């Protein structure tokens, strides 16, 4: 059986021109077909290569299935992503110089003007790039040749600019870009397979994009499909509160700060950057004048050293000023609240000092032997220092409005019963600064007489425990208790005495008991006396 070369030679002996395609078809019909085993033996090396390459290609082209079937969030202190996405281009399908082929069919090699059996195919590196993966539907590659040498899938849009071939896909998937240039009997050919991968899509919303220092904001992420989220903030702390909500807090510095949210699927990443403005706190400058001589004449002036907009100043949540000036202040500590910018608040405390602040004070001590005589001890202060350390003070003692002494301390005996007002006036020498302090003294000659033992044995002597008062007493009450604190007798009439029986029924046992007596004299002076008594029956 003749081989194909001999048959071809015989059939073409009488042709002077290039034979047509029809001639080649007729020759092939007469060519004896090889058996399957002859064909397999002839092409065995191609079969071995195909069996080796196909699993490797499937491994690299199939999407990664190891990603978890749920969204995952990673919070980082800084964003370390370095993925760069192609820029937007103006793509068009109306480029007539580019050959197109359907995505589902192989590219057809265009016919050359001159058919030649000695055509040589040469691998060219026109694209100068390896088969590649791209996140998104756009890519730009270097290309310095003519447009009509390209064979492009129909779903790919093409533009050219600055020796760049810009490709944009209608949908995600794998696409083959073919370069084929025929020069005489040589065909230069290059292919490039591009896989366009989907970029993960998601939305991010903030509860506020402008906040005060110290405030918190909420961030919400809504994504589709399987995504892994990474959140990073250069100047804040981040805490996840549920599946899609996060709390941003602890902003350290004022000004504009960024929060980056990156989503990753099995191959690609997408990043959204949110900017947050943290309003700067005002720097306060405070000048105060002291309260002089307790005259409610203190003054406060508050200004700011930066340009933060101030809405109002408020002292003690009562006094408000838009200028920061407060007058007629008493001495003391004030709370300051500053309302600035977008209803932000700054809190502080301010002290208005005293100047020649007089605090007169004294105590009255009764003489132990004479209940009508008192000793008055002076504890006045000037600017929080004892008067004995300040020689500027002078004193006047008054009783019922009458001057009685100019000494620092003095004693006085009241001759008659009654109510007396004792007043101390303290003044700063050489000024009009003065202040006073007074108390009431009640003088009564009446005394309360309470026995410390009684004998309820029926002999007519000391059978009752009875209290005596040598004047009028009002709101009188007496309580007697045993040593366990249990009440055994009470009464509201000073004329009644205790007969030694518990609640008037059972006789109380001998021993020690305690009493509390209360009342008022005719001047309203409180009377209270506590003590112990002994009950003896034999």
HEC per residue, 86-108: CCCCCCECCCCCCEEECCCCCCC
CA–CA gap between residue 330 and residue 348 (Å, rounded): 18
202-279: CATH topology: Immunoglobulin-like (2.60.40)
Q: What is the mean pLDDT of the chain?
A: 80
Same fold, 86-197 and 448-535: yes
Question: What architecture (CATH level 2) is domain 86-197?
Answer: Sandwich (2.60)
Q: For 29, list phi and psi in degrees, rounded to 5.
A: -65, -35
For the structural domain made of 284-355, what CATH number should be given? 2.60.40.10
User: For 429-450, what is each residue's pLDDT tens digit?
Assistant: 888 888 999 999 888 777 788 9
Mean pLDDT along residues 170-198 = 90
Domain ranges of the chain: 4-61, 86-197, 202-279, 284-355, 358-443, 448-535
pLDDT of 481 reads 94
CA 92 to chain centre: 50
The whole-number pLDDT of residue 294 equals 78
Give the integer Cα–Cα distance in Å for 197 and 278.
Answer: 38
In sequence order, what DSSP letters do the residues of 43-100 get, joined into one string? THHHHHHHHHHHHHHHHHHSPP--S-SS-EEEEESS------PPPP---BS--TTSEE
How many percent of the chain have pLDDT more than 70? 78
Residue 449 contacts residue 531 (beta carbons within 8 Å)? no
Q: Which of 482, 474, 488 is nearest to 512 (CA)?
A: 482
Model pTM above 0.75: no
Name the pLDDT band for 287 (thresholds 50, 70, 90): very high
- φ/ψ of residue 143, rounded to 5: -155, 125
Distance in angstroms (rounded) separating the CA atoms of residues 279 and 312? 16
Q: What is the pLDDT of residue 2?
A: 46
Which of 63-77, 232-246, 507-521 is predicted least confidently? 63-77
| Backbone region of residue 298 per phi and psi (left: phi > 0; alpha: psi in -120 to 50; beta: other values) | beta
Task: List pLDDT tens digits, range 513-534.
Answer: 999 999 988 777 788 889 999 9
Please give the pLDDT value at position 492.
Answer: 94
Give the pLDDT confidence score for residue 52 in this predicted structure: 66
Superfamily per CATH, domain 358-443: Immunoglobulins (2.60.40.10)
Report the distance separating Cα 229 and Cα 74, nearest Å: 6
Contact criterion met (CB below 8 Å) for 408 and 384: no
Query: Architecture of 448-535 per CATH?
Result: Sandwich (2.60)
Q: Above 70 in pLDDT, residue 56?
A: no
Q: Model confidence over 129-162: pLDDT tens digits? A: 888 888 888 999 888 888 889 999 988 999 988 8
- In this predicted structure, the answer to whether residue 490 has a pLDDT above a threshold of 90 is yes
Residue with tokens 């620092």: 408
- Say if residue 37's pLDDT is above 50: yes
Distance CA 214, CA 344 (A): 10
Using CA atoms, how far apart are residues 500 and 297, in angstroms rounded to an integer?
A: 67
Please give the Cα distance from 534 to 512 (Å, whole number). Answer: 5
Residue 478 CA to residue 519 CA, distance in Å, equals 9
Question: Which of 225, 57, 63 lies closest to 135, judged by CA?
Answer: 63
Q: What is the pLDDT of residue 325?
A: 93
């Amino acid at each position: 059986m003749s081989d194909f070369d001999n048959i071809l030679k015989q059939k073409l002996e009488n042709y002077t021109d290039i034979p047509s395609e029809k001639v080649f078809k007729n020759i092939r019909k007469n060519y004896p077909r090889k058996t399957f085993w002859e064909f397999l033996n002839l092409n065995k090396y191609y079969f071995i290569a195909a069996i080796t390459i196909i699993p490797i290609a499937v491994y690299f082209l199939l999407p990664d299935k190891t990603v978890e079937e749920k969204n995952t969030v990673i919070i980082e202190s800084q964003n370390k992503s370095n993925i760069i996405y192609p820029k937007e281009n103006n793509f068009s399908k109306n480029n007539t110089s580019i050959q197109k082929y359907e995505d589902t069919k192989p590219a057809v090699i265009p016919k050359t003007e001159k058919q030649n059996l000695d055509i040589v195919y040469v691998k060219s590196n026109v694209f100068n790039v390896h088969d590649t993966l791209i996140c998104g539907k756009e890519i730009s590659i270097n290309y310095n040749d003519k447009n009509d040498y390209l064979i492009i899938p129909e779903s790919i849009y093409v533009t050219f600019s600055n020796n760049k071939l810009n490709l944009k896909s209608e949908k995600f998937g794998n696409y083959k870009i073919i370069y084929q240039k025929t020069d005489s009997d040589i065909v230069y050919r290059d292919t490039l397979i591009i896989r366009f991968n989907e970029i993960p899509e998601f939305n991010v919303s903030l509860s506020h994009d402008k906040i005060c220092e110290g405030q918190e904001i909420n961030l919400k992420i809504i994504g589709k499909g399987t995504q892994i989220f990474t959140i990073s903030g250069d100047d804040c702390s981040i805490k996840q509160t549920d599946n899609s909500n996060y709390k941003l807090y602890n902003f350290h510095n004022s000004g504009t700060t960024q929060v980056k949210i990156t989503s990753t699927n099995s191959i690609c990443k997408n990043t959204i950057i949110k900017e947050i403005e943290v309003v700067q706190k005002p720097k306060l400058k405070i000048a105060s004048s002291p309260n002089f001589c307790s005259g409610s004449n203190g003054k406060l002036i508050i200004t700011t050293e930066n340009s933060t907009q101030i809405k109002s100043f408020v002292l003690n949540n009562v006094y408000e000023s838009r200028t920061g000036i407060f007058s007629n202040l008493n001495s003391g500590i004030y709370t300051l609240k500053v309302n600035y910018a977008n209803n932000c608040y700054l809190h502080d405390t301010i002290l208005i000092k005293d100047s020649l602040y007089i605090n007169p004070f004294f105590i009255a001590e009764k003489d132990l032997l004479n209940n009508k005589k008192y000793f008055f001890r002076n504890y006045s202060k000037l600017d929080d220092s004892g008067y004995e350390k300040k020689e500027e003070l002078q004193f006047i003692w008054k009783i019922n409005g009458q001057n009685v002494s100019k000494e620092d301390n003095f004693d006085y005996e009241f001759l008659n019963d009654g109510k007396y007002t004792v007043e101390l006036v303290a003044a700063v020498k050489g000024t009009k600064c003065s202040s006073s302090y007074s108390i009431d003294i009640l003088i009564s000659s009446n005394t309360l007489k309470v026995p410390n033992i009684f004998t309820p044995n029926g002999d007519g002597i000391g059978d009752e425990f009875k209290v005596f008062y040598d004047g009028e007493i009002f709101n009188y009450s007496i309580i007697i208790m045993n040593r366990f604190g249990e009440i055994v007798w009470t009464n509201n009439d000073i004329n009644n005495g205790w007969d030694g029986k518990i609640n008037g029924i059972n006789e109380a046992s001998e021993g020690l008991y305690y009493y509390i007596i209360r009342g008022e004299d005719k001047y309203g002076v409180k009377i209270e006396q506590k003590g112990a008594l002994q009950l003896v029956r034999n």
